[in-house]
Structures are given as structure tokens and as C-alpha cells.
Amino acid sequence: MKNLLAIGFIWLGCAIAWVVLGSTILVRTGATSSELTRDVELLWGPAHQQQPPRALFHEPRKVRDTITTVDAQGRSVPTEVERTIDSTVDIPLESSDIHAGLRLAHRRKGLLWFPTYAVDFRATYEFRNDTPVQRAVEVSFPLASSDVIYDGFMVRNADGTPVETAVRDGHARWTRSFAPGERVSWTVDYRSRGTSQWQLHPSAGTGQVKNFRLVVDTDFAGVDFPAGTISPSHHERTTTGWRGEWSFESLVSGAAIGIDLPQKLNPGPLASRITFFAPVGLLFFVFVVAVLAAARRREIHPLNYFFFGCAFFAFHLLFAYLVDHLAIAPSFAIASAVSVLLVVSYARLFVGWRFALVEMGLSQLIYLVLFSVTFFWDGFTGLAITVGAILTLFVIMQLTGRVHWRTLAEPHAAVP
């Protein structure tokens, strides 16, 4: 009983050490995540959100205001005054034919990977003067914040000739005269960059969108859509990635169309999850080794279990700091090899090579290494650990089913 209490106390101490280490990793990751995100956005650009263009003309409009004055008797006298104001009126966007190509590139900062992308954008917009008179129309194409770059930005007429534009107040602007009922189209081209997410808004606010078509081609297949965005009308896998198409004859909505870029496995969150789970793996290891040692008449002192716990802790400590400098796979492999070597080389001194290599080395591979590998399988970690626990129970029951435990309680000499 004293040995069990001592082993339990050692396990508890190791669990506390893992909680401290896991919390440290979370702090290291979380404390710098917002700063790193900002750094990446400054280098590569923030999430791109493309708004639709607008075409407006100015029209004088007469309005009536009521002015209240006070007469000589102190009575309020309302007076109507007519004045002319300059109002802006939109002409309708009749059609939008847009293509966007996204190319993914993951970039690492600290313990985090960030999905960055380059976008090739081309859109043809057609406007119609729905008034019975000729209008001098100003077209404005919204640009994003100052952190976004536009390479090769060009506006072209339907015949391919370039249009002279002026960039001010976050918009590219150009003017043209529209005859009554005339339809005019322009094509906008640019290349840009962003981080994490790409969005396009079919309408400015909640409004009607006519004859809308958007095609997005990506060089990656793991496409997801942000909550609250419009799902594609059709999508398919391609030889190079993914293609989605949004087609609407008449759409009334204020929702955007968006794509979340696939996230790469981040070293910081992965290391913290593996570290917080470590006490469970050590508990399985201690249970299996203790039972097998008793069945094989091997003497293992509680202090030996303390050093086993230290070797387990060495795996997580080394992995947590190796991923600062190496990729996840080699960091994991090095930390695993070091921890297993510590346990096996130490245990062979008092239980022999065979027991150290087979019973203990194999147990450590399963409950430290393989259990940690399950965290690479997003969504299957809990199931994998549950199956492992059940298989452990089955194997131990089969191996020790014929053992006479009462006779093992009698004094015996240690087997070298």
C-alpha cells in the first residue's frame, strides 16, 4: 500500500509539472499570436474583402424646409422655404462576371502557421442608364485598406482599351457620359495578397444583384466557407485543386461570398494539447508496467517510477522547444527517441534488457508516442485513445489471466 501511495504521489507531481509546462506553451503561443498576426498582415496583407463598384450621377433636387419665426406679438409663424440641393443617384449594376484565382502559401511565425494567399482577380461589370436623359456618370471601384497591395491594377473598356482612373479616398474612380438607356461595361484586373480568408460582397449592403456569376479556382482542395456566407451553386475537385461557381439571375441579400483557407497544423497548440494529455499516458504506462513487473516477479521501486515520469516529461519539454527551430515531424521523432532511450537504458540496470526493451519500451511507444500521435488526427483523438485503453485492458487480462496473485505476495528474490 505504501508503494502505491508513493507511486500515486509521484504521478500527481508529474501531472502538476505537465500542467505548468502546458500553460507556459499556451502563454507563449497566445501572448504573441495577435502580434504575429499583425506582423503577417503587414507583410502579406489582411483578409481581402472586395466590395462591388458603384456608378452615380449628380442631380439637383428641390426640397422644402419649414422655418419658424416669432412675430411682434411673440407668436410662432411657420414659413416654407424652397431650396435646391445636389443629390447623388445610383444607376443599376446590370451584370457581374467575376473570376478569382487563389494560390495558397503557408508562412510560419513563432509557434504558429498562417495561411497566406495570392489572388488573381478579373471582373466585368455592366451598368445601364435607366433614366430618359443623358447622364455624366462617375464610377467608383472600392479598394481595401492601405495594408493591401494591388499589382497590375487596370480598368479596360469593352474594346480592351485602358481607362484612365484616379485613386482617392480608397476608391479607383473614372467618369463617362451615358446616353438614355445605354449599357456600358468595364473589366477590372488586379493581383493582390491576403491572409486567412478571402471574401467578395455581391452587393453594397442589402440589395438586389442581377445576372451575377463568380468562379473561384484554387490550388488547394481543403476549401471551407465562413459562417454566414453564401454557399456555391456548384463546386468540384480539379486536377490542381478546387473550383466553385456562384450563379444568380436575381439575388436579394446582404451576405458575402467567402472562402476560409486551410489551416496547417500549428506547433504551439499541438504541443500544449499533447502536454496536457501526458498524465493519462503516464497513468497507463505505470499501470501496465506495474502489473507486468509483478507478474514477471520484477522489483521496481517507487523512486524508479519517479525517473520514468521524468523521462516522459523530457519528451514534452524537448518537443515544446524543438518546434521553435525544427518542423513538427523531426521534433517529434527526436523527442520520442530521447525519452525512450532514457527509460530503456535506465530500466535495463534493474530489470534486465529483455523486460526493459519489450515490456517497458513497447509500453512507452504505445502510451507516450502513439497516444501523442493521435493528436495529429483531428477529430479522432478521443476515439483512438478509447480504443487503445480497451485494447490495453484486453491484452493485460489475457497475459495475466493465469497468474496466481496470492502466491506473488510471498517474499521472493529479484530476477536479474
Laid out side by side, the sheet with 151-157 consists of 151-157, 183-195, 112-128, 93-109, 207-218, 242-253, 234-237
Cα Rg of the chain (Å, integer): 34
The residue from 206, 232, 260 where one domain ends is 260
pLDDT given for residue 147 in this prediction: 73
pLDDT given for residue 191 in this prediction: 94
Q: How far is CA 219 from CA 237, 239, 277, in A?
A: 10, 9, 36
Q: Is 146 exposed, middle or buried (0-12, 13-18, 19+ CB in 10 A)?
A: exposed
* Alpha-carbon dihedral angle through residues 187, 46, 247, 51, given to the nearest 10 degrees: -60
Domain annotation covers residue 415: no
Domain annotation covers residue 276: yes
Q: Is 114 exposed, middle or buried (0-12, 13-18, 19+ CB in 10 A)?
A: buried
Residues 98 and 83 in one domain: yes
Domain annotation covers residue 178: yes
> Could you tell me what percent of the chain has a pLDDT over 70?
89
Residues 235 and 299 in one domain: no
pLDDT given for residue 62 in this prediction: 67
What CATH number does residue 251 fall under?
2.60.40
Residues 304 and 269 in one domain: yes
- Whether the predicted pLDDT of 243 surpasses 90: yes
Tell me the average pLDDT across 238-259.
90
Lowest mean pLDDT among 31-40, 251-260, 354-363: 31-40
Q: How far is CA 194 from CA 44, 52, 119, 149, 397, in A?
A: 6, 18, 8, 9, 56
Give the contacts of 225 (CB within 8 A, at least 6 positions apart).
Answer: 231, 258, 259, 260
Residues 53 and 189 in one domain: yes
Lowest mean pLDDT among 52-61, 72-81, 169-178, 226-235: 72-81
7, three cell numbers? 507511486
Give the contacts of 279 (CB within 8 A, at least 6 positions apart).
Answer: 11, 14, 15, 18
Three-class SS of 243-278: EEEEEEEEEEECCCEEEECCCCCCHHHHHHHHHHHH
Domain annotation covers residue 40: no
Residue type, 281: G
Residues 53 and 175 in one domain: yes
Residues 164 and 110 in one domain: yes
pLDDT tens-place string over residues 78-94: 777 666 666 788 888 99
Residues 103 and 183 in one domain: yes
- Whether the predicted pLDDT of 333 surpasses 90: yes
Higher pLDDT, 211 or 24: 211
* Claim: this prediction has a pTM higher than 0.85: no
pLDDT given for residue 146 in this prediction: 67
Residues 22 and 165 in one domain: no
Domain annotation covers residue 39: no
Higher pLDDT, 120 or 298: 120
Tell me the average pLDDT across 252-257.
86
Query: What total number of domains does the chain contain?
Result: 2
Domain annotation covers residue 185: yes
- Nearest residue to 48 (alpha-carbon basis) of 200, 268, 252: 200
The residue to which cell 479556382 is assigned: 217
Q: Is 151 exposed, middle or buried (0-12, 13-18, 19+ CB in 10 A)?
A: exposed
Q: For residues 340 and 43, what is the distance between their CA atoms, to the nearest angstrom?
A: 42
Residues 218 and 310 in one domain: no
Higher pLDDT, 325 or 218: 218
Tell me the average pLDDT across 304-309.
90
pLDDT given for residue 416 in this prediction: 44
Domain annotation covers residue 116: yes
Parallel/antiparallel/unpaired status of strands 112-128 and 183-195:
antiparallel
Q: How far is CA 121 from CA 101, 124, 154, 191, 373, in A?
A: 7, 10, 11, 6, 40
Confidence of residue 414 (pLDDT cuts 50, 70, 90): very low
Parallel/antiparallel/unpaired status of strands 93-109 and 112-128:
antiparallel
- Whether the predicted pLDDT of 415 surpasses 50: no
- Nearest residue to 330 (alpha-carbon basis) of 340, 318, 341: 318
pLDDT given for residue 79 in this prediction: 73
- Nearest residue to 4 (alpha-carbon basis) of 220, 402, 300: 300
pLDDT given for residue 409 in this prediction: 57
Planar angle of CA 195, 118, 200, nearest 5 degrees: 70
Residues 394 and 284 in one domain: yes
Task: Tell me the average pLDDT of the chain.
Answer: 85
Backbone angles phi and psi of 220, in degrees to 5: -135, 155
Tell me the average pLDDT across 285-292.
87
Lowest mean pLDDT among 107-116, 286-295, 328-337: 107-116
Q: Which domain holds residue 117?
A: 46-60+69-260
Q: For residues 119 and 48, what is the distance between their CA atoms, to the nearest angstrom?
A: 9
pLDDT tens-place string over residues 91-147: 889 999 999 999 998 887 766 788 999 999 999 999 999 889 899 999 999 987 667
Residues 114 and 228 in one domain: yes
The residue from 242, 260, 278 where one domain ends is 260
19, three cell numbers? 500542467
The residue from 223, 238, 260 where one domain ends is 260
Tell me the average pLDDT across 271-282.
87
Residues 147 and 85 in one domain: yes
Check if the beta carbon of residue 91 is closer than 8 Å to that of residue 127: yes
